[in-house]
Amino acid sequence: MRPDVRLITLLGPGGTGKTRLSLQVAHATLDRFPDGVYFIPLSDDTDATQFIARVAQQLEVRQGGRPLLDNVKDYLRDKRLLLVLDNFEQLISAAPVVAALLAAAPQLKIITSSRIALKLQGEHEFPVPPMDLPPATGEFNMEDLRGNESVYLFVERARAAQPRFALTTGNASAVVEICRRLDGLPLALELAAARVKLLPPQAILARLDDRLKLLTGGSRDLPARQQTLRNTLEWSYSLLHEEEKILYARLSVFVGGFTLEAAEAVCNPDMKLDILEGLTSLVNNSLVRQDDSIDGEAHFGMLETIRAYALERLEESGEMEDLREQHARYFGNIVVEQTWPQLTSANALHWLDWLEREYDNIRATLTWCVSAQGSIDLGAQVVFALEWFWYRRGFFIEGRMWCERVLESPGLKANSVARATALLSSGVMALWQGKPETGLVELQEASALGHRHEDEFLITVANLQLAVTYINMGQDSKARPLLAQARAYFKEQNHFFFQAVTSVHFGNAELGLGNLEQARILHEEALTQARTLGEPWLLSFALNNLGEVARTQGQYDLARKYYEEAEALLRDTGDRGDQARFVHTLGYIAQHEGDYAGAEAQFRTSLTMFRRLGNRRGIAECLAGLAGLKARHGQAEWAATMLSAGESLLQSTGGEWWPSDRIEVDQNRQLIRSALSEDEFERARKRGESMTIDQAISFASNEP
């Protein structure tokens, strides 16, 4: 907690307890960091370029139309916060990013655990020692022995494996020697202690004599204890039955954990293994850990050191490529055949949570799909199926990246349906990034391919997304015929969810054209359908847009009712973007009611949320809202600058104000102009127009 200490690296080989120490420090200092303590596991990450994405994911910072690192730095800039970066050694080339975060956020502190120092200025290295060892010779004082760190851990883990185990004068010398031979390394002690279920300590010690030796053929610059741990793993592996060895190696194909069902499907295609018995044995031997059950289903995983060793065994077996394909097809088929249909049902939240929980495995699936050995057609189906998940959970930048990788694959046929589906997702991602022109081109190509293949569903989905793009660009008249075709098709095909979604967008187009009553009718039709389906997001979508109609009509009490009902439906669903919008729109309700302090709190809260999401449209809307409030407080010149900055930012996205916001913005502009001379207004307008997004946010954060 010293002011001059900002970066501490816990150094040591795998198995010394660096992770446990960092977690304990984090727990002990929770009250010292008012903005939070975040534990970021990096054990499954091997690509240093994705490091900042992992940090952003934990902080719930999303990327918009600018580098993700800039958004993370902005979020951390004024925070008193602790980041715990676990297993950093394989991302050591990303160390400059850690330095950049520390430079951008003066109150930030970071703890890393690594086998290699980061070599950054101001880094404080803390070598994590192994556990205290019992004395090598002499008579044992049993009471002192029980209090020794290494012995204590061994005994506790042995009792977990064999409840009747106890440290006695008969086995104490063997336990002491085991602890010393394993150099007090916690992971090695746990692996050895798990054997008590089958072997007494004396037999374990005898096997250590045969199996656990320092490596002589490995890299000489590796720490000796790391080599010892490798031997421990080899020894533990050698004690498995042949079927257990096969299962242990095959399970390494999972990234981020697995269920029993997944293990059965991926690792036992020929049904020759007893997965339940084998998995039980691996858990008992501390090679696999059982995590908390989710929805009543047990979830399992491996420590990274153990998984890395298992991957080597899988490579040696010659099964690596087959297992990767089985893994990818298992998760790919679930995403395409089960998840995608359910995301538009009353079970959507369950499947959204499943996708987020299994996202590392899904990333591995996509990595295989775009590889030379993979199936690019499956990859195209997966990115199409994930579009809705990426939107609702805020992963649209990563989603666009995967779409681009699929589209750039030489295996993707130029005029195929697979290319059309990938283009659909990519175009939508581009729109959410604030690049509607790019999205328009991709969606138009997708539509053309749909016509080429006479695929009515593909054509209709492309038309729907093209219409949404036109609405965002303020070209509502172009959206209407596309929405009419889509609405008729979905009605004919009994796609009630998409019919309701299309009705809402149709209503938005009518609202943009000034047809308020027709907009209200369309939204109410969608609301009726949504209530029948019972899907919370769809209900919220219809209610929110009914609120937009009411606000455009000046019916603020009715708008509040709709907005609050919409917000309550998504309060605990992880729909971060929609939640930010609710906070923003309720700010205008508070402003209308004369609660200016409440309105400002709403706008500033939503600005923070939109910044974390990287949503440039949302940021622009918040800047405009703050401008109107300050104008009402007589701070017209500041307000003119802020309004100009917001309008310039929105124009840079290719978008236009929503009808309800346009009314507020026009009122704000009139109020500002009436309080300023022409020269004052022009100076303020040009100042705001010239601001970057960072400058505009900084300006908005400072009281005039």
Query: Could you tell me what percent of the chain has a pLDDT over 70?
Result: 94
Per-residue pLDDT at 49: 77
pLDDT, greater one: 308 or 441: 441
Which residues is 124 bridged to in the sheet?
A: 8
Average pLDDT rounded to a whole number, residues 420-437: 90
* H helical segments located in 433-555: 436-452, 456-472, 476-492, 496-512, 516-533, 536-552
Burial of 445 (0-12, 13-18, 19+ CB in 10 A): middle
Exposure string over 324-360, b if 16+ CB within 10 A, otherwise e? bbbbbbbbbbbbbeebbeebbeeebbebbebbebbbe
Per-residue pLDDT at 223: 36
Q: Are 636 and 676 in contact (CB under 8 A)?
A: yes
As a residue count, the chain comes to 704
Q: How does pLDDT run across 297-355, given as a tens digit for each residue?
A: 889 988 766 787 899 899 999 999 999 999 999 999 999 999 999 999 989 999 999 99
Give the list of residues 6+ apart from residue 477 with CB closer than 8 angstroms, or none. 509, 513
Name the pairing type of β-strands 123-127 and 258-259.
unpaired
**Residue 656: CB atoms within 10 Å:** 18
Q: Give the distance between the most distant pair of CA atoms in the chain.
A: 96
Per-residue pLDDT at 8: 97
Average pLDDT rounded to a whole number, residues 102-122: 92
Q: In what order do the strands lie in the sheet with 123-127?
A: 37-41, 82-86, 109-114, 7-11, 123-127
Q: How does pLDDT run across 230-269, given as a tens digit for each residue?
A: 666 776 787 789 999 999 999 999 998 999 999 999 999 8
Per-residue pLDDT at 212: 37
**Main-chain phi, psi angles of 153, to 5 degrees:** -65, -45
Per-residue pLDDT at 401: 93
Does residue 134 have a pLDDT over 50?
A: yes
Does residue 211 have a pLDDT over 50?
A: no
Does residue 45 have a pLDDT over 80?
A: no
Give the list of residues 6+ apart from residue 179 with CB closer than 8 angstroms, or none. 131, 133, 134, 148, 150, 151, 154, 189
Mapped to the 3 state alphabet, what secondary structure does 535-546 carry? CHHHHHHHHHHH
**Main-chain phi, psi angles of 361, to 5 degrees:** -65, -35
Does residue 652 have a pLDDT over 90?
A: no
Coil vs helix vs strand at 110: strand
Q: How does pLDDT run across 62-100, given as a tens digit for each residue?
A: 876 788 999 999 999 999 999 999 988 878 889 999 999
Q: Are 616 and 652 in contact (CB under 8 A)?
A: yes
Give the angle subtended at the CA of 621 by the CAs of 619 and 623, to the nearest 5°: 70
Mapped to the 3 state alphabet, what secondary structure does 302-366 carry? CCHHHHHHHHHHHHHHCCHHHHHHHHHHHHHHHHHHHHHHHCCCCCHHHHHHHHHHCHHHHHHHH
Q: Are 134 and 150 in contact (CB under 8 A)?
A: yes
**Positive/negative CA dihedral, 664, 666, 672, 675:** negative
Burial of 318 (0-12, 13-18, 19+ CB in 10 A): exposed
Q: How does pLDDT run across 488-529, given as a tens digit for each residue?
A: 999 999 999 999 999 999 999 999 999 999 999 999 999 999
pLDDT, greater one: 606 or 287: 606
Does residue 221 have a pLDDT over 60?
A: no
Q: How does pLDDT run across 675-690, given as a tens digit for each residue?
A: 999 999 999 999 999 9
Does residue 225 have a pLDDT over 60?
A: no
pLDDT, greater one: 141 or 592: 592
Q: How far apart are CA 657 and CA 548, in angstroms?
A: 12
Q: How far apart are CA 622 and CA 641, in angstroms?
A: 14
Question: Tokens for 146?
Answer: 């029980």
Q: How does pLDDT run across 577-607, given as a tens digit for each residue?
A: 888 889 999 999 999 999 999 999 999 999 9
Per-residue pLDDT at 539: 96
DSSP 575-638: -HHHHHHHHHHHHHHHHHTT-HHHHHHHHHHHHHHHHHHT-HHHHHHHHHHHHHHHHHTT-HHH
For the chain, give the mean pLDDT. 89
Give the list of residues 6+ apart from residue 106 with CB closer than 8 angstroms, or none. none
Q: Are 412 and 376 in contact (CB under 8 A)?
A: yes
Does residue 220 have a pLDDT over 50?
A: no
Q: How does pLDDT run across 599-643, given as a tens digit for each residue?
A: 999 999 999 888 877 788 889 999 999 999 999 989 999 999 999
Coil vs helix vs strand at 73: helix
Q: How does pLDDT run across 448-488, given as a tens digit for each residue?
A: 999 999 999 999 999 999 999 999 999 999 999 999 999 99
